Amino acid sequence: MDPLGFPFETYDDFGRFRSVENLEHPDNVITEAKRGETNEFGASLPVYKTLPVDPRGVLKGTGDATLDGNVDDAFDLIDRLSTSVKVRQSIIRHAFRFFLGRNETLSDSRTLIDAEKAYVDSNGSFDELIVSLLTSDSFIYRKSNSKE
């Protein structure tokens, strides 16, 4: 996952923003946890030395020169991915597979083109993408998997 995972280091295990990381090792304890003393959450925790979080990472191997490169933080990564045509088409393809319950075939190309057009024309409305998929010939005339 690293170095692509580094931008997400600005979030802890619970998804809360953080600017420093605790160096949780016995050598880095500043204050020991004290029995009987609790914080607002009812816990007594040790205090550790910290280091600033470095959220810089690298996105590589996408095959898209506009995507690949150094990433400043999670927001930079999100911005870069959100403007990528390749990412948009991937999301549409995965939505197709989920809602139609199968992989796309060559005969589904019109459905995928129409779904992308609906998504782009609606300024990125996922609802419009789904409506386009569920009103397509690929969905309406799908074959049943049951053997009756």
CA atoms within a 13 Å half-sphere pointing along the CA-CB vector of 32 = 4
95: number of Cβ within 10 Å: 18
pLDDT of 48-74, one tens digit each? 999 999 999 999 888 888 889 999 999
CA 108, CA 136: separation in Å to the nearest integer?
9
CA 148, CA 146: separation in Å to the nearest integer?
6
Q: Which H or E run includes 30?
A: strand 29-31
Query: Structural domain boundaries of the chain?
Result: 6-81, 84-140
**Token pair 């979080």: residue:** 53
Helices (H), strands (E): how many in the chain? Answer: 5, 6
Q: Give the pTM.
A: 0.69
CA 74, CA 38: separation in Å to the nearest integer?
33
Amino acid identity of residue 76, one-letter, is: D
pLDDT of 86-125, one tens digit each? 899 999 999 999 999 999 999 999 999 999 999 999 999 9
Rounded average pLDDT over 22-29: 90
